[in-house]
Amino acid sequence: MIKLIIFDLDGVLVKTKDIHYTALNCAISSIAGDEYMISHEDHIKRFDGKPTRVKLEMLTIDRGLPEKLHEEIYQLKQQNTVDLLEGALKRDEKLLSIEDGKKIKTYDVDRMAGLGTPEDLQSFLMEESK
């Protein structure tokens, strides 16, 4: 039975805002070129909090980012995010120990990131709790 689930809302446990910003810009630069990168100022004013696909649509409308590159940029951004998150996350044995040494079940960032919708996450957790 699952006794505890910890969700990180951005900035509570891991500050991911800069990770997402960097991951997207690296993907954009690699695939489309530096001219389509988002400045930090633009990110704060216009792009922050929007899904990646919406950001790519905005770049197509505003700067002419070719729509045919969206999926490739999106996929690379997802991989960049996982790589950057793995570098940012540190294993803390104190957080992993509960109730006299019982261990919290941990999941690979790749698996969790690929779940998609809240319903997918719920189904996954229900299966894992059996």
Summarize pLDDT for 2-15 with one digit per residue, the tens.
666 666 555 656 67
pLDDT at 57: 98
Question: What are the backbone angles phi and psi of residue 80, rounded to the nearest 5°?
Answer: -60, -40
**Tens digit of each residue's pLDDT (9 = 90 or more) over 93-111:** 554 444 444 444 555 555 5
3: its two tokens: 């006794």
pTM for the complete prediction?
0.65
Report how far residue 77's alpha carbon sits from residue 80's, in angstroms, rounded to the nearest whole number: 5
Segments making up each domain of the chain, as ranges: 17-88, 93-128
**CA-based nearest residue to 52, from 34, 69, 73:** 73
